[in-house]
Structure 1
Amino acid sequence: MDETRIQDRSGAGEPSIADLEETAPTRQAAISGGVRTPRPHDSGAMHVRGTARYTDDEPELPGTLHIYIAQSIHAHARIVSLDVAKVREAPGVACVLTADDIPGQNDYSPVFGDDPILAEDEVHCIGQPVFAVAATSRDLARRAAMLGIVEYEVLPHAILIDEAIRASDLANEDLLPAHTMQLGDWNAAIASAACSIDGRIEVGGQDHFYLEGQIATAAPLEDGDVFVRSSTQHPSEVQHNVAKMLGVPDHAVTVEVRRMGGGFGGKESQPALFACLAALVAVKTGRPAKCRLDRDDDMVMTGKRHEVRIDYRLGFDADGRIAGADFAHVVRCGASKDLSGAIADRAMFHADNAYDLKAARIHSRRVKTNTVSNTAFRGFGGPQGMVGIERALDRVAHLTGRDPLDVRKANFYAPPGQTPGTTPYHMAVTDCVISEIVDELEASSDYRARRKAVSEFNASSAILKKGLALTPVKFGISFTTSHLNQAGALVHVYKDGSVHLNHGGTEMGQGLFTKVAQVVAEEFQIDLERVKITATSTAKVPNTSATAASSGSDLNGMAAQAAARTIRRRLVDFASARYRVPKEAIAFKANRVVIGETEKRFSDLVGEAYLARVPLSSTGFYATPGVAYDRERASGTPFYYFAYGAACSEVLVDTLTGEHRLLRADILHDCGQSLNPAIDRGQIEGGFIQGMGWLTMEELWWDAKGHLKTHAPSTYKIPTANDRPDDLRIAIWDKGENLSETIYRSKAVGEPPFMLAISVFCALSDAVLAAGGGRRFPDLDAPATPERVLQAVESVKA
């Protein structure tokens, strides 16, 4: 690599924390670590040192039992008999659990009641729990489980989408009812358009591959209560499922989680299974219990991102402006309903992405397969929906002979101040800044010149082909199940002026705890170091929603702000009365409080308030306003606002092997007024790379009998540092400001960047198109593995 190239890449390198601090907005008060200040993750140093404690790092209590789960070996079968007598007699075994041992409800599902903790009469996928063994070591538990005798009657099964459709059609019933969204006369609009296309794309699933696998521990308490530590994004749901399994009130179960080693949605609904088993062992034996999966069992037993088949039909004019669109989704749900209804709905909500479809229909079928039940994954169906329209627009561009970026720009929703477009679910899009973001990225990435350079390269290179694509993201922020848009927080100010913070959000590496602590520091105008971040606990903040839907900072930040402001108002009232000054003359500055002509340290005022018996603890609550969706009418306002971004990706494809490299990616993303630019940049980069993995290399494969063959790092490839492009240019949009009243006008950043990686998939398609001289639009499904890319190359050359 030549020196100029190295220097160029270095010039586009990412700034350090210190660099970001120099460019942070000028602050009136010089506190350390308030909002909009780039601060490192609160556990970052501990992660590097290896001292950050996860569930498995907590010291084991004396007598702890270890649980192994015996799994179904058939995709669909009736259990004829189950004999665990020899299992009970095995060395070290303290307890063997079957469905008959569950005192309450045998169910850990999030909604529909169709996920048995332990199988009763039938099994519906390989990996479904049949019985569990608790022994003095995990190895002894596993060895004992091998002694169990299960007699099955094998039943017909469906593994692939086509098999599931045939089974559903035969039974005249899908796993979940179909759903349709409609806007205008879409059929007439397509029929009367000057041009039309139709096509199909298969979008694969994805394993969460969190670094910390599923794990739960449970300790018996007095009066039949139980204390559970769970690696979960949804402590309240784990609490509720454990309680209903034991047949006790929710207040008898406490669930705590300090941090997870990754979640990505995989720890939203499914951790309840492992917590239930640990709690049941603890209650039955009176001994602590731990249920920890190894990687292979974790990948076999837990749900994935939903696979989706998308058939599309578009009508458009010679410039590529869409007159009408029709999308038909078939969603592969797996063996149970889990969260599939809401996930499939969100794929529909995002079938338009950033494009104003004047007339459209989105139809969605949700079918059952005898594979592990698919579940939440970063983006929650939104990425699958977006891939469909981006793929369709690339075909429109090819047919009209226009640059794909020009076709995209011609169809964007109108910017603020202009007549807003309407989504297929009848929500006005009033905050769309995608045109401005794309224009800026087009210029900063030098898109037009690079497009010309890519064409020139391809004309002179017979084997290696380059591709370039710039794609947008518009992603709705809020839970589409309206009642989940709520959060609580608890703030204590101790008499020395230090602050204890607790809220219902969970930390899975995304920096939520740091951001919310910054909010509290900002409200009190104290240094961030004065705020103690504590483990999420159902005993402190009840009835919490999952940390999901990109809403962690929005919800919990507002709740914590409300709690802090209550205490601050009490301090103002106290200071006003004690020092006989108007409340307006009291101001919180950097670690001090100005009271008229008097100035005190924050800690001193707190100490005086304590002596005066002023309450220094408060709860806070927040409910997102204005979100409501009438699902029966497929109409409403399911999102509080939209997050926007764009990415430009350039790839190089070897047409002899199908292998590719991402050479460069330019990203411009809207975080509103970022709460923490350093953490947000990390989320943007991480989301983009994970999305790239989903669309290019992470392939799930089941054999005809339903065995997952990609169940370990040896067979399932995720992106590594080597897959990150040498030239990665990330910028937070400096004009960003949320038009909705969010916490300090910030925007969610957990999920939206994931879909920036669609630009990589589109760039690969562009390179394959070039391999055939641009004559034939390639058939390319996701993930675009080397095998699929090579097959597409051969097809365009034919």
Structure 2
Amino acid sequence: MNKHQAPIDLSVMHKPTRHDSGPKHVTGTAEYIDDIVEPVGTMHAYLGLSSRPHAEIVGMDFAQVLAAPGVIGVLTNDDVPGELDISSAHKHDEPVFADGVIHFWGQPVFAVIAETRDQARRAAHLARIEYRDLPFFTDVRSAQAAGGKLVTPPLKLERGDVDAGLSAAPRRVKGAITIGGQDHFYLEGQIALAIPGEDEDVVIHSSTQHPTEVQLIVAQALGIRQNAVTINVRRMGGGFGGKETQGNLFAVIAALGAKKWNRACKIRPDRDDDMTATGKRHDFVVDYDVGYDETGKIQAVDAVYGARAGYSSDLSGPVTDRALFHCDNAYWYPAVRARSEPLYTNTVSNTAFRGFGGPQGMMAAERWIEEIAYALGKDPLEIRKANFYGTDTENVTPYHQVIEDNIIHRVVDELESASDYQARRKVILDFNRTSAVLKKGIALTPVKFGISFTATWYNQAGALVHVYKDGSIHLSHGGTEMGQGLYIKVAQVVADAFGVNLDTVKIMATSTGKVPNTSATAASSGTDLNGAAALDACRQIKERMLAHAARLHDVSEAECEWVAGGLQAGAKFVPFAELAMSAFMNRVQLSAAGFYKTPKIHWDRATGRGHPFYYFAYGASVSEVTIDTLTGEYTVDRVDILHDVGKSLNPAIDLGQVEGAFIQGMGWLTTEELVWDEKGQLRTHAPSTYKIPLASDVPPVFNVKLAEWSVNREAVIGRSKAVGEPPFMLAMSVPEALGMAVASVMDYAEAPRLDMPVTPERVLLGIERLKREARG
């Protein structure tokens, strides 16, 4: 090829490309931890869980456990040579096993180590534990009534004179909304396999979103340094935040067993025990006082966000912080005061879940928008538009960050038009006037979601790139793959950087032995951070290769240019593989460690001020529903979505993320209900009692589009935007549409005020409440 030939099109960025593990997923050949061939002599661990919500442990008898077939031993806190704490927040409030006091039903008390998993599981039920019961409470209201003990310091965001704004407002609404929690229900549960090495070494295959944290926690528990612990993660069968901190316990138990008996040790709980013993999305109760005028324009907001945190801090502080960061959704509040209450409860400690508190904060905002609309007899969309952030003014958030990339007006206007919202709403209003039993509803809701970890130090990533003599490329980075397509996106970045085919790049498992000190794959930042780190590594290698080519072909570096398939050195085209071999023969380093840290961001929690988000992602959805007023049953008939992912790196992956996030969000808001009984036991701990969305729940008309015109104004990889969490909140249009259908029973005279999840029972209760209020 000469310089004037048409270039080969090897561009892989911004093109729909299948998931790298896609064929393996559908053929069953994708290897997860439970598929790894177990080393000879592998032991199996199983948890012994408490059967009280709050109690002192008076005594424990393991005689029958130790006498059971196949049992090798029992692990308790006495077997932990280092620190007992496995808390991600490092608050020393989460022991490996219950330390003298039980704080929730299902808290791990010990672990059985046996020759087989079945033997360990059966033996775990033979322990005799004597308890002295203590008072307990399991929900937000009972926790508040008991004095409101907090597991971590609260946050307050305040801007403007809230009291004056409320007093001066012509209208005012006070109320509360209950927003339920959610189980992650990943297809692959928690699991860890530890293989002991010489000296202090241990290698752990862990299903975790945060390999570095697992490495640290295991090292602390074993009383050794981090360099002796290697965490490997090839892929997870789902995570959604449930494997950001919750994998710590399982990795520690596997490591303790492996090092104590010098044999490989594996632990995988049953689904019931997994759901009982691991944290979930936080339940919230939000109390609000909102002032507004006759046009529906909000004047002031005062709200308290009480959250069921569980017995320890875990991530409740950051989660409730982020709920406050999103108390505005897409709306401007002239005066606002938002306060968090991460409350101690006798339940499992709740943890990260897709959206990380943002969905709960945004759902509350939609509640008072709805309240205002019904009080004024207007379409809630009209109230939403009246309160949108501006582009030049009215664009300062409750945490004092100026919004510089607001596109919510265009997103909503385009979706309103494309979905024919106004005409459909008129048809629905006409339908409801004449239909006695079936009622319909429609709603359009916006999304504005901030991207970045609010803990500034997490906004960093590393990568390791090798180019081999034959031109093949080895890619490692600190991000983890849980099905979301991170690996393929970063591989696209690397292939594009070198101008080679995608199959030239070998995607390696994430390992703390290759890339150290990584952040969790969370906060929707995986591609932004790891893609930029990988690109930095590519830049270093390319600079060396280009300088070598210039010397070899006696041209200036300015006359060298990277092109598709290789490098143009003056008049000479050098194929990439040939250039790699030449560089090796001339002792040019073909390996580099890349690094990236997010610019511009800063946050001062003490003052509630800063610039915690690098940019915002936007979106909107329209949902249409039909309810049966006799049974409460309903269907989601049609959904239209327009979502902003900037200039998409991979439209196929991004569309899948938007679709999946919406359905998962719909499950959270309509069917997934967590129920604790009067004894403090979680009763919804299996698919038989906990209803996740099925394929049959996907709306029959489901129109999903990406805002192809959007380009991230910040210097993010390919000018793309994060897609993991923001589309989850698109599902808010479903309960809003259900609310309209319920309100139609009494001719929209009262706000429906439905709590989440909006199950068929709550639809019926909502209808009955409106009828009761109408009767006086």
Whether 1:682 and 2:656 are equivalent positions in the alignment is yes
Q: How does 1:284-295 map to 2 (within 5 A)?
A: 284-295=260-271
SS at match of 1:569: helix
Q: How does 1:350-389 map to 2 (within 5 A)?
A: 350-389=326-365
* Cα deviation code 1:346-387 (max 9, x no counterpart): 000000000111111101111111011100000000000000
**TM superposition shift of 1:178:** 2.6
1:163 to 137, 142, 145: 142
Tell whether the 8 Å contact from 1:420 to 1:428 is kept in structure 2 after alignment.
no
1:763 to 705, 727, 737: 737
**TM superposition shift of 1:107:** 1.5
Whether 1:341 and 2:341 are equivalent positions in the alignment is no
Tell whether the 8 Å contact from 1:95 to 1:285 is kept in structure 2 after alignment.
no
**TM superposition shift of 1:147:** 2.4
* Cα deviation code 1:579-636 (max 9, x no counterpart): 1112222222221221110112110011101100100000000000111110000000
2:201 to 209, 225, 232: 225
| Map of 1:559 onto structure 2 | 533
Tell whether the 8 Å contact from 2:531 to 2:717 is kept in structure 1 after alignment.
yes
TM-score, length-normalised on structure 1? 0.95
| Map of 1:24 onto structure 2 | none
Question: Partners in 2 of 1:174 and 1:224 — Cα distance?
Answer: 38
Aligned letter for 1:527? N
1:725 to 674, 696, 699: 699
**TM superposition shift of 1:777:** 1.5
Question: Partners in 2 of 1:770 and 1:709 — Cα distance?
Answer: 34
SS at match of 2:150: coil
| Map of 1:43 onto structure 2 | 21
Question: Partners in 1 of 2:299 and 2:537 — Cα distance?
Answer: 50
SS at match of 2:88: coil
Q: How does 1:278-677 map to 2 (within 5 A)?
A: 278-415=254-391, 418-419=392-393, 421-677=395-651
Tell whether the 8 Å contact from 1:335 to 1:370 is kept in structure 2 after alignment.
yes
| Map of 1:135 onto structure 2 | 114
4+ residue runs over 3 A deviation: 28-33
| Map of 2:44 onto structure 1 | 66
SS at match of 1:405: helix
Question: Partners in 2 of 1:96 and 1:351 — Cα distance?
Answer: 47
| Map of 2:81 onto structure 1 | 103
Aligned letter for 1:562? D
SS at match of 1:81: strand
Aligned letter for 1:358? P
2:53 to 66, 72, 75: 75
Aligned letter for 1:58? I
Question: Partners in 1 of 2:7 and 2:535 — Cα distance?
Answer: 18
- Which ranges in structure 2 are unaligned for 5 or more consecutive residues? 1-5
Tell whether the 8 Å contact from 1:220 to 1:288 is kept in structure 2 after alignment.
yes
* Cα deviation code 1:19-73 (max 9, x no counterpart): xxxxxxxxx9654462101101000000000000001000011001111110111
2:710 to 715, 723, 736: 736
* Cα deviation code 1:523-553 (max 9, x no counterpart): 0010111000010000000000000000000
Aligned letter for 1:207? D
Aligned letter for 1:469? A
SS at match of 1:96: strand
| Map of 1:145 onto structure 2 | 124
Whether 1:154 and 2:133 are equivalent positions in the alignment is yes
The 10-residue stretch of structure 1 (733-742 or 508-517) with the greater mean CA deviation from structure 2: 733-742
Question: Partners in 1 of 2:653 and 2:622 — Cα distance?
Answer: 22
Question: Partners in 2 of 1:200 and 1:420 — Cα distance?
Answer: 26
Whether 1:176 and 2:155 are equivalent positions in the alignment is no
Whether 1:250 and 2:229 are equivalent positions in the alignment is no
Question: Partners in 2 of 1:138 and 1:360 — Cα distance?
Answer: 54
Question: Partners in 2 of 1:142 and 1:421 — Cα distance?
Answer: 56
Question: Partners in 1 of 2:394 and 2:12 — Cα distance?
Answer: 35
2:34 to 53, 56, 60: 56
Closer, same or farther: CA 197–29 of 1 in aligned 2, 3 Å: farther
Question: Partners in 2 of 1:419 and 1:772 — Cα distance?
Answer: 39
Tell whether the 8 Å contact from 1:95 to 1:281 is kept in structure 2 after alignment.
no
Aligned letter for 1:291? I
* Cα deviation code 1:761-795 (max 9, x no counterpart): 10110111112211222231000000001110112
Question: Partners in 1 of 2:92 and 2:8 — Cα distance?
Answer: 53
Question: Partners in 2 of 1:30 and 1:167 — Cα distance?
Answer: 70
**TM superposition shift of 1:669:** 0.5
Closer, same or farther: CA 370–451 of 1 in aligned 2, 3 Å: same
**TM superposition shift of 1:179:** 2.0
SS at match of 1:144: helix
SS at match of 1:168: coil
| Map of 1:698 onto structure 2 | 672
Question: Partners in 2 of 1:33 and 1:249 — Cα distance?
Answer: 44
Question: Partners in 1 of 2:154 and 2:195 — Cα distance?
Answer: 43
Aligned letter for 1:215? I
Question: Partners in 2 of 1:33 and 1:205 — Cα distance?
Answer: 43
* Cα deviation code 1:331-356 (max 9, x no counterpart): 11011110000000000000000011
Whether 1:238 and 2:214 are equivalent positions in the alignment is yes
- Which ranges in structure 1 are unaligned for 5 or more consecutive residues? 1-27
Closer, same or farther: CA 379–745 of 1 in aligned 2, 3 Å: same
Closer, same or farther: CA 639–522 of 1 in aligned 2, 3 Å: same
Aligned letter for 2:121? R
Question: Partners in 2 of 1:210 and 1:509 — Cα distance?
Answer: 11
Closer, same or farther: CA 190–420 of 1 in aligned 2, 3 Å: closer
2:65 to 87, 93, 102: 87
Aligned letter for 1:89? A
Question: Partners in 2 of 1:320 and 1:688 — Cα distance?
Answer: 28
Question: Partners in 2 of 1:129 and 1:523 — Cα distance?
Answer: 48
Aligned letter for 1:749? V
Tell whether the 8 Å contact from 1:579 to 1:595 is kept in structure 2 after alignment.
yes
**TM superposition shift of 1:177:** 2.6
* Cα deviation code 1:242-272 (max 9, x no counterpart): 0000000000100000000000000000101
**TM superposition shift of 1:145:** 2.0
Tell whether the 8 Å contact from 2:11 to 2:499 is kept in structure 1 after alignment.
no
TM-score, length-normalised on structure 2? 0.98
**Number of matched residues?**
766
Question: Partners in 2 of 1:680 and 1:621 — Cα distance?
Answer: 25
| Map of 2:104 onto structure 1 | 125
| Map of 2:3 onto structure 1 | none
| Map of 1:25 onto structure 2 | none
The 10-residue stretch of structure 1 (187-196 or 82-91) with the greater mean CA deviation from structure 2: 82-91
Question: Partners in 2 of 1:428 and 1:574 — Cα distance?
Answer: 46
Question: Partners in 2 of 1:279 and 1:696 — Cα distance?
Answer: 40
